[in-house]
A and B are shown apart, each in its own frame.
Chain A
Amino acid sequence: MKWDEFFVTGDPLIYGAMVSIVLVSLAILVGLTYFKKWGYLWREWLTTVDHKKIGVMYILAALIMLFRGGVDAVMMRAQTSMPDMKFLDGQHYNEIFTTHGVIMILFMAMPFIFGLMNVIIPLQIGARDVAFPRLNAISFWLFFAGAMLFNISFVIGGSPDAGWSAYFPLAGIEFSPHVGNNYYSLALQISGIGTLMTGLNFIVTIMKMRAPGMTLMKMPMFTWSVLITSVIIIFAFPVLTVALLLMMFDRQFGTQFFTMQNGGMDMLWANLFWVWGHPEVYIVVLPAFGIFSEIISTFAKKNLYGYKSMVISMLVISGLSFLVWAHHFYTMGQGAMVNGFFSITTMAIAVPTGVKIFNWLFTLHKGRIEFTTPMLYSLAFIPIFTIGGVTGVMLAMASADYQYHNTMFLVAHFHYVLIPGTVFAVIAGFHYWFPKVFGFRLNERRGKTAFWFIIISFNVTFFPLFFLGLQGMTRRMYTYSEETGFGPLNMLSMVGAIGLTIGFILLVYNIYWSTRYEPRDTTGDPWDGRSLEWSMPSPVPVYNFAVVPEITKRDEFWFAKQEGKSLSDKKIEKIHMPSNSGKPFILGIAFFFLGFFVVFSWWTPAIVAGIAVLLTMAAMSFDRDDGYYIPVEEVVQSEKRLRGERV
């Protein structure tokens, strides 16, 4: 590899990006030094094992990735807004739709959900932290290392360009000889290990660390959704691990899994990818269902309708999610019977999903609905997601799919599922739980302005794509000619994309504005909530619960409020806490370099980095830190200080 191939050259957009990356990095370094914040950063964030802080870091990273993926999206819409547009060339376009897909799913949607999970789950079940706090930090740093590795690809070496599904043989060494797809296999592998550990951690947390009396059927719905999601993670992610391993071997060690010669089978990749990929959709959608359940029930001022059927429907969805993967390639020629089977399993998912929709509607029934910002997102979710759902049923019909497959119709469908299903959910959850973490709400008026921008622009952006698909426009086309007639609707979609951009900028501006001007919340319960997290003062103290509450029914806190009962009037005891540790952060760095060197097949440095990984793990194994205790007086005082103002 020559040095002029090392950095991506020749594109002014990329030079601009390089310059801004250097400037921003410098600004951060100078700022940290000037304000003497290095120690603070290290002590409070980089070494933290506190689930709340890890959650905040996940969300921060996810927001950054949202903008990275969003810039890709706007560039794509700009390039296709007019026939024969010359804004990007084919190669650059191929790179950004690939990175857009990967980043939005794996480095935006998942970490955002993991962030909310991290912050909220222990609070909802009355736990002091997750089961394995240090493993939790490792998960985060592995995710972060993977995300950074993936993101540097566009300035160093070049981004992957074979689509987020990276079908072989296109993604193989023969047709994609540059390092882009090495970044794909390694960045996803590293963050995937982190994801697997998160899944494991949360199953143990939810199964073993609930407050006394909280049986499974008394858990809040968000907790249920995270439990089921974690189980899906445990079974789906190893498949991705294997697929990525084989991809790396094929590309870097000359194996013959997906090649065109010597018995390789290109469609094996597609099968492995989607055996993971379809459950992955539910990994990001089920927690969203949980978030909506919490919010809708809170602001309808009613308990969740049909709790039991909500749980059962999620279990059914999680089971079916492993039986539908072939619907991603009905057109592979596997014959009518196989396609028929997968059509039926796919359409069957609509049944439990429909049950959920109706249960939400009947939660609203006889309620007293308050239109707060989080509630607006949740309410907008129902009709928009239903469009995504019914078009999903249409796509599930194998015969009809021969006409939708690979078209903009499909693109419209999955954006109609994933944006209301996941993005609205995480934004709603973000607004809803923000005061719990930071002690003040996001401004409602500004929040609602951003909401209307986002909701209307979303429909303007994606609804035209259904028609473009039926006109015969395929996805991933970087350009088209005037005669195709695709121009006007694409232009309309571009207008929507601009609106979405404004909406998201307003949303972030609201964070800044509210931080400065929004009044602080002194109650700990600004929304009149129902689940345990609202029984605590905001921001939540590091030890979470001074005393772990006893649970007798669902929505315990709601009923306690009605009866004027306190959940925290038991005797306070000293609290055991895990110590901070820098090793997860160091492990993340070691993994980053390991991945980076392997991407470029620089084996000697890669082995050194690999040894660094093993040594860090060994150091963790030998670490006998038992944590520390917060003495009773300190807990009493802090509770007095935090709760004293509330009376």
Chain B
Amino acid sequence: MKKRGPLLALFFGLTMLLSGCSSLTVLDPKGPAARTLSDTIIFSILMMVGVLAVVYILYVYMLVKYRAKKSNEGYVPPHEEGSTKLEITWTVIPIIIVLILSVVTVRTTMAVENVPEGYENQEPLVIYASSSNWKWHFSYPEQGIETVNYVNLPTHRPVEFRMYSFGPITSLWIPQLAGQKYAMSDMVTKINLVADVPGSYMGKNANFNGEGFAHMNFEALAMSQAEFDEWVQDVKNNEGELTEAEFDKLLETPHVGRMSFASTHLSFSPPPEEGHHHSGSTEKENGNQEHQDNKEKFPEPSSTDEDEAEFDFDPNVHPDDPTPVDPGDESTHHEGH
């Protein structure tokens, strides 16, 4: 009788979810990483609806059957200490549920931390995504170009975002392509994703970083490799180079629109030491696609901004093999359906 409200709302919600209502961005994935997450979420919702159902059925049963009414006046409820058998039951079953979910969690976490399945042999496109109040800078070291507040990606090619921040902690999130991850000032974090459907996707900073936070959005535009190459060429031909003075000025400006440059800031304002941080091992998780170049260039001791001079970043930015194995060939075949 009471609390039917949330129950109904939940069923209503579920129908919405399972019918794939596309307004729920998170459950409308356009790439394998986001698809893994969406499947995980739907799986966990189903499990949890089962748990809720058991609780709600027992709850309604108890309330209806054992409520005080005229007919049971004078009824004295018995004294019950409990039942070991029952108590073991409702300890063991949840443990089993938790075990199942743990396995799913560990497997899917591994899956989304690494290059999506089926794309492991392709050279990933590296994009450095750095945040400053309240903008995103995307640097393409391979292509030697940089954008502000928009990012273009080729479809069917693994993309590796490497994030860091010029200020407060931010979080790079393109819900339809992959889950979010923090960008921080003293380490580089990574997101691996692939877009398999061309389109324009909402990208944003998900972590509160001050006054302009609400406006810190960007567009992630997934396009075919050919279109992507064309765009890169276009930027190279038509846009100016990003100078250090200009970049410093840009960092100071709170809000800007979209910008494109024919060079990156990585040479004069390199990212913090990569892969090093206090509690973990992104390096190990991503071992299979680690680039030979960033390991040896960044030695172990903790670096700070003051140590910049030690690191001549430039060689990294223009890798020794400037022409990547052309992944466009095979990926273009997948397009257009």
Do chains A and B directly touch (beta carbons under 8 Å) in the complex? yes
Known: A331-B180, A362-B86, A402-B181. A480 touches B278 (CB 8 A): no
Question: Total A-B pairs in contact (CB under 8 Å)?
Answer: 323
Residues of B within 8 A of A470 (CB): 17, 24-27
Residues of A within 8 A of B40 (CB): 397, 399-400
The 7 closest A-B CB pairs, nearest first, are A402-B179, A334-B280, A333-B189, A306-B82, A170-B168, A390-B48, A399-B108
Residues of B within 8 A of A399 (CB): 36-37, 40, 105, 108-109, 111-112, 179
Residues of B within 8 A of A368 (CB): 66-68, 72, 75-77
Verify if B101 is at the interface (C-beta below 8 Å from A): yes
Known: A175-B210, A399-B179, A403-B26. A459 touches B106 (CB 8 A): no
Residues of B within 8 A of A167 (CB): 168-169, 207-208
Residues of B within 8 A of A478 (CB): 213-214
A301 touches B87 (CB 8 A): no
Instruction: Report A347 CB to chain B, min CB distance, Å.
Output: 5
Instruction: Report B242 CB to chain A, min CB distance, Å.
Output: 22
Verify if B13 is at the interface (C-beta below 8 Å from A): yes
Which A residue's beta carbon lies closest to that of B174? Answer: A472
A371 to B79, alpha carbons, bound, how many Å? 20
Residues of A within 8 A of B167 (CB): 169-170, 175, 260
Residues of B within 8 A of A367 (CB): 62, 66, 77
A379 to B78, alpha carbons, bound, how many Å? 20
Known: A331-B171, A398-B105. A170 touches B210 (CB 8 A): yes
B208 touches A467 (CB 8 A): no
A459 touches B180 (CB 8 A): no
A339 touches B109 (CB 8 A): yes
**Which of A's residues lie within 8 Å of B, judged by CB?**
90-91, 94, 161-163, 167-170, 175-176, 260-268, 300-303, 305-309, 326, 329, 331-340, 343-344, 347-348, 350-351, 354-355, 357-359, 361-362, 364-371, 376, 379-380, 382-384, 386-387, 390-391, 393-394, 396-403, 405-407, 455-456, 459, 463, 466-467, 469-472, 474-480, 484-485
Residues of B133-181 contacting chain A, CB below 8 A: 133, 167-169, 171, 173, 175, 178-181
A260 touches B305 (CB 8 A): yes
26 contacts between A and B (CB under 8 A): A175-B167, A260-B186, A267-B278, A301-B76, A302-B80, A307-B82, A331-B182, A334-B279, A338-B280, A340-B106, A361-B58, A366-B77, A368-B72, A383-B56, A384-B3, A393-B48, A400-B37, A402-B181, A407-B206, A456-B5, A463-B9, A467-B13, A472-B173, A472-B204, A474-B205, A485-B23
Verify if B122 is at the interface (C-beta below 8 Å from A): no
Instruction: Report B95 CB to chain A, min CB distance, Å.
Output: 6
Residues of A within 8 A of B106 (CB): 336, 340, 343
Known: A261-B306, A265-B186, A335-B284. A390 touches B98 (CB 8 A): no
Chain B, 174-206, contact with A by CB distance < 8 Å: what is the 0/1 string? 010011111011110110000000000010111
Residues of B50-67 contacting chain A, CB below 8 A: 51-52, 55-56, 58-59, 62-63, 66-67
Instruction: Report B34 CB to chain A, min CB distance, Å.
Output: 8
B63 touches A364 (CB 8 A): yes
Which of A332, A359, A455 has the most chain B CB atoms inside 10 A of its CB? A332
Residues of B within 8 A of A260 (CB): 167, 185-186, 305
Residues of B within 8 A of A396 (CB): 101, 105
A354 touches B90 (CB 8 A): yes
Verify if B333 is at the interface (C-beta below 8 Å from A): no
A471 to B10, alpha carbons, bound, how many Å? 16
For chain B, the count of residues having a C-beta within 8 Å of the partner chain is 105
Which B residue's beta carbon lies closest to that of A170? Answer: B168
B48 touches A337 (CB 8 A): no
Which of A306, A383, A407 has the most chain B CB atoms inside 10 A of its CB? A383
Contacts A344-B98, A474-B173 known; 13 new A-B pairs at CB < 8 A: A161-B210, A170-B210, A268-B278, A331-B182, A338-B279, A339-B109, A355-B90, A359-B87, A368-B75, A384-B3, A394-B48, A402-B181, A459-B9
B44 touches A394 (CB 8 A): yes
Verify if B113 is at the interface (C-beta below 8 Å from A): yes
A337 to B55, alpha carbons, bound, how many Å? 32
Known: A380-B2, A471-B24. A302 touches B78 (CB 8 A): yes
Known: A170-B168, A354-B90, A399-B37. A335 touches B66 (CB 8 A): no
Instruction: Report A71 CB to chain B, min CB distance, Å.
Output: 21
A403 touches B6 (CB 8 A): no
Verify if B259 is at the interface (C-beta below 8 Å from A): no
B171 touches A406 (CB 8 A): yes
Residues of B within 8 A of A305 (CB): 80, 82
B282 touches A366 (CB 8 A): no
Instruction: Report B193 CB to chain A, min CB distance, Å.
Output: 11
**Which of B's residues lie within 8 Å of A, judged by CB?**
2-3, 5-7, 9-10, 13, 16-17, 23-27, 34, 36-38, 40-41, 44-45, 48, 51-52, 55-56, 58-59, 62-63, 66-68, 72, 75-83, 86-87, 90-91, 94-95, 98, 101-102, 104-106, 108-113, 133, 167-169, 171, 173, 175, 178-182, 184-187, 189-190, 202, 204-214, 277-282, 284-285, 302, 304-306
A163 to B210, alpha carbons, bound, how many Å? 9
Known: A300-B77, A369-B63, A405-B206. A386 touches B101 (CB 8 A): no
Specify the main secondary structure of chain A where it touches its partner: helix
Residues of B within 8 A of A169 (CB): 167-169, 185
Which B residue's beta carbon lies closest to that of A343? Answer: B105
Known: A170-B210, A331-B179. A348 touches B98 (CB 8 A): yes
B90 touches A394 (CB 8 A): no
Known: A90-B212, A397-B40. A336 touches B55 (CB 8 A): no
A134 to B181, alpha carbons, bound, how many Å? 49
Residues of A within 8 A of B209 (CB): 170
Contact of A382 among B10, B55, B186 (CB under 8 A): B55
B62 touches A261 (CB 8 A): no
A455 to B3, alpha carbons, bound, how many Å? 9
Contact of A394 among B45, B111, B187 (CB under 8 A): B45
B80 touches A387 (CB 8 A): no
Contact of A94 among B79, B80, B210 (CB under 8 A): B210
A354 to B108, alpha carbons, bound, how many Å? 25
Known: A361-B55, A397-B44, A406-B207. A263 touches B108 (CB 8 A): no
Residues of A within 8 A of B6 (CB): 383-384, 387, 459, 463
B113 touches A336 (CB 8 A): yes
Which of B38, B58, B205 has the most chain A CB atoms inside 10 A of its CB? B58
Instruction: Report A515 CB to chain B, min CB distance, Å.
Output: 28
Contact of B52 among A268, A308, A387 (CB under 8 A): A387
A496 to B13, alpha carbons, bound, how many Å? 18
Residues of B within 8 A of A398 (CB): 105, 109
Residues of B within 8 A of A175 (CB): 133, 167-168, 210
Instruction: Report B119 CB to chain A, min CB distance, Å.
Output: 18
Which B residue's beta carbon lies closest to that of A264? Answer: B186
Residues of B within 8 A of A343 (CB): 102, 105-106, 109
Which B residue's beta carbon lies closest to that of A357? Answer: B55
A355 touches B91 (CB 8 A): yes
B304 touches A263 (CB 8 A): yes
A302 to B66, alpha carbons, bound, how many Å? 12
Which A residue's beta carbon lies closest to that of B91? Answer: A355
Instruction: Report A507 CB to chain B, min CB distance, Å.
Output: 18
Which A residue's beta carbon lies closest to that of B208? Answer: A476
Residues of A within 8 A of B75 (CB): 368
A369 touches B67 (CB 8 A): yes
B87 touches A355 (CB 8 A): yes
Residues of B within 8 A of A370 (CB): 68
Residues of B within 8 A of A365 (CB): 62, 66, 80
Instruction: Report A537 CB to chain B, min CB distance, Å.
Output: 26
A402 touches B80 (CB 8 A): no
Residues of A within 8 A of B280 (CB): 333-335, 337-338
A397 to B278, alpha carbons, bound, how many Å? 22
B3 touches A380 (CB 8 A): yes
A267 to B55, alpha carbons, bound, how many Å? 39
Known: A305-B82, A407-B206. A333 touches B182 (CB 8 A): yes
